[in-house]
């Protein structure tokens, strides 16, 4: 399906308060674009789409100047800070009409742009989704590495399929992108959503470096919010845990009930203690089970309201 002539690629770059990093990024990317076009990996009309995610600094002015300076750049300005995932979505939506493939990358160029060569190679050999995967995390602080590891492992336990050590550096082909854009949920967690698409996927490994300039736009607070978003947008398992806890409490009630009864018979309990103990544990257990049951239905509603496509057709072989 992926044609032999070079693909028209849109590189989507979300930018939030990136006035310091963006000029450097634009320069590096611009030179890189020329190489990619020369090597026949990008079509000459490929573009970089800079999405200003409601920045409060001069990011948009920088983008305006870049767009004026070269037709390689396009700019998209969001009216307010919608967040990294939404900014990416906005950019991919805008690019979806024109691009054969879309590559998303952060504005700070922590992700090695040369991996895009690998992306294109995989794309030309038929991959619809190519994940950029970090081979090492040496440039991260110990804390970030540890929390990230815990997060990926935790997600896997909750039954959410994500690609280990893959952030949002990836290529998506036109047809996969069109299917992805049919997902109508507003709580975006692309790392979880993209793997649900299916299609032929590939991984390209690269080493991640330090931020080129400026500071991380993901302070701990945003990172935590992102992790919670990831879990609650994808898993109803936490609800099941409530029901499980209820069962454990109800079982414990039996043991504690026996203990309370024996204490009473042995005359070691003050009047009223046995019945109070029994009721607390039993009612507690029953309540938790009931909550878990209600939760199951809420979980269903939750999955239902996302209105995701029930299936995605990859190919349909027919006769005339
Ligand atoms: N970003 C964004 N909106 C936000 C926060 C971040 O568009 O609300 C962009 C940011 O400009 C960058 C990317 O998301 O291009 C990743 O952010 P950052 O590099 O600060 O995150 P880190 O690498 O520290 O996790
Ligand atoms: Mg970064």
Q: What pLDDT is stored for residue 304 in this prediction? A: 86
Residues whose CB is less than 8 angstroms from the CB of residue 223 and which lie 6 or more positions away in sequence, other chains included: 147
Check pLDDT > 90 for residue 296. Answer: no
How confident is the model over 211-262, as pLDDT tens digits?
Answer: 777 787 777 888 888 888 888 877 888 888 888 888 888 888 888 888 888 9
Per DSSP, 42 falls in state: B
Ligand 1 mean position to 209 CA, how many Å?
15
Lowest mean pLDDT among 136-140, 146-150, 204-208, 271-275: 136-140
In order of 15, 47, 103, 247, the CA distances from 173 in angstroms are 22, 15, 9, 47
How confident is the model over 162-198, as pLDDT tens digits?
Answer: 888 888 999 999 999 999 999 988 888 899 899 999 9
More confident residue, 115 or 152: 115
Residues whose CB is less than 8 angstroms from the CB of residue 1 and which lie 6 or more positions away in sequence, other chains included: 126, 173, 175
Ligand 2 mean position to 283 CA, how many Å?
50
Percent of the chain at pLDDT > 70 equals 98
How far is CA 282 from its chain centroid?
A: 41
To test the ligand 1 pocket, which listed residue (48, 106, 151) has its Cβ within 8 A of the most ligand atoms?
106
- Arithmetic mean of pLDDT, 34-53: 95
Residues whose CB is less than 8 angstroms from the CB of residue 69 and which lie 6 or more positions away in sequence, other chains included: none
Q: What is the pTM of this model?
A: 0.83
More confident residue, 307 or 81: 81
User: d(Cα 76, Cα 57) in Å, to the nearest integer?
Assistant: 16
pLDDT band with cut points at 50, 70 and 90 for residue 82: very high
User: d(Cα 15, Cα 50) in Å, to the nearest integer?
Assistant: 7
Q: What pLDDT is stored for residue 3 in this prediction? A: 54
Pick the atom of ligand 1 nearest to 81's CA: 8
pLDDT band with cut points at 50, 70 and 90 for residue 305: confident
Ligand 1 mean position to 275 CA, how many Å?
57
Q: What pLDDT is stored for residue 264 in this prediction? A: 86
Check pLDDT > 60 for residue 1. Answer: no
């Amino acid at each position: 399906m992926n044609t032999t002539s070079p693909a028209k690629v849109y590189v989507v770059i979300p930018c939030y308060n990136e006035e310091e990093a963006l000029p450097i990024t634009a320069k590096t990317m611009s030179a890189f674009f020329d190489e990619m076009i020369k090597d026949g990996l990008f079509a000459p009309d490929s573009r970089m789409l800079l999405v200003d995610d409601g920045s409060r600094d001069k990011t948009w002015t920088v983008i305006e100047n870049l767009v004026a300076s070269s037709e390689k750049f396009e700019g998209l300005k969001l009216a307010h800070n919608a967040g990294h995932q939404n900014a990416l979505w906005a950019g991919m939506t805008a690019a979806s009409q024109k691009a054969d493939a879309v590559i998303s990358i952060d504005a700070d160029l922590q992700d090695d742009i040369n991996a895009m060569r690998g992306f294109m190679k995989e794309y030309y050999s038929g991959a619809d989704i190519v994940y950029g995967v970090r081979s090492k995390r040496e440039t991260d602080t110990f804390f970030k590495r540890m929390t990230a590891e815990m997060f990926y492992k935790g997600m896997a336990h909750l039954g959410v399929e994500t690609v280990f050590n893959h952030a949002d550096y990836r290529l998506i082909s036109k047809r996969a992108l069109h299917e992805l854009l049919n997902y109508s949920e507003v709580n975006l967690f692309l790392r979880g959503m993209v793997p649900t698409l299916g299609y032929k996927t590939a991984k390209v490994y690269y080493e991640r470096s330090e931020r080129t300039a400026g500071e991380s736009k993901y302070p701990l607070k945003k990172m935590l919010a992102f992790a919670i978003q990831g879990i609650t947008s994808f898993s109803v398992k936490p609800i099941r845990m409530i029901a499980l806890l209820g069962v454990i409490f109800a079982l414990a009630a039996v043991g504690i009930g026996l203990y309370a009864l024996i204490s009473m018979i042995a005359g070691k309990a003050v009047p009223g203690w046995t019945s109070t103990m029994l009721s607390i544990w039993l009612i507690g257990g029953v309540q938790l089970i009931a909550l878990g049951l209600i939760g199951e239905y809420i979980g269903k509603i939750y999955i239902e309201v996302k209105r995701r496509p029930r299936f995605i057709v990859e190919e349909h072989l027919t006769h005339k």
